[in-house]
Amino acid sequence: MSDADTPQRSIFFLSDRTGITAETLGATLLTQFDERSFRQSTLPFINTPEKARSALEYIEHTGRTSGLQPIVFSTTVSEDVREILRDSSALFLDLFDTFVPKLERALETKSEHREGRAHGIADEATYRSRIDAMNYALTHDDGVGESGYDQAQVILVAPSRCGKTPVCIYLAMQHGVYAANYPLTDEDLEGTGLPRALKPYRDKLYGLWIDPERLHHIRSERRRGSSYAALPQVSYELRQAEGLYKRHGLPYAETTNKSIEEIATLIMQDKDIRRRSF
């Protein structure tokens, strides 16, 4: 039997809200196994007994179809919903079942069992700070908005298509960090000094570097056959950029095989930016 014909085990991330926490928990654990053998689905807003029964019917149907026991990662708060889901043939792994009773004993108090605390708007001011950081990242992207660099907590610098924008957006969304980014052009890379717009903000700068073959591939998807995507041009830009980082003592990260989350964590650690979770 080929891999294409091999049944995949159904994995469900189930929650009474968005499912982000369940996805994060489950996906992290599944990285320790062959993820090609899984078929992953998210079931958000399962917050009533009726929705729970409907979800359970679907989950058990996938198990009968594949012949493999489904696995459910759950972060639903409602005891009524969890009671229904526990009564299934699936392997039911619930964050609250696992940890809340132990926390209640340690803290000598009962939990509030309130839905949506993980990704809801628990504090309006905190939520607003994240929106402000997002707006900042979008209005200071790709060298735009240089007059606002004094507000930045970090300014990412690198040649085009090295991943500056998605990292800035992630920093804003996840941690409320004011992150701008500046693309290093040929003119910037021909000289030995920092670009004029960046000189006053040297302490906020952080460089990104990527393998030339990888950047060649990324640029080719956008402008195949152009000098912009040519491997010699890409190699030149990256070589010059790394020289710039080293000459001016700028911290920088090699990002070829790193996720956005890893890159963001490195930046925050190296620049001593306090992590904030919302």
163 marked as part of a ligand binding site:
yes
The answer to whether 160 is a known ligand-binding residue is yes
158 labelled binding-site residue: yes
Q: According to the annotation, is 165 in a ligand binding site? A: yes
CB 169 within 8 A of CB 181: no
Residue 148 labeled ligand binder: no
pLDDT in tens, the chain (278 residues): 445 567 899 999 999 888 888 898 898 899 899 878 899 999 999 999 999 999 999 999 999 999 999 999 999 888 899 999 998 899 999 988 888 888 889 998 887 656 555 545 455 677 788 889 999 999 999 999 899 999 999 999 999 999 999 999 999 988 899 999 999 999 999 989 999 999 999 999 999 999 999 999 999 998 899 999 999 999 999 999 999 999 999 999 999 999 999 999 999 999 999 866 55
Q: Which residue has the tokens 């392997």?
A: 91
- The answer on whether 162 is annotated among ligand-binding residues is yes
How many C-beta atoms surround the C-beta of residue 78 within 10 A?
18
Its pTM stands at 0.68
- What dotted CATH number matches 124-271? 3.40.50
Give DSSP secondary structure letters for 183-230: EPPHHHHHSSSPPGGGGGGGGGEEEEE--HHHHHHHHHHHHTTSTTT-
Residue 44, both tokens: 């958000």
Q: Tell whether residue 243 is among the known ligand binding residues.
A: no
- Give the tokens for residue 183: 């693309």
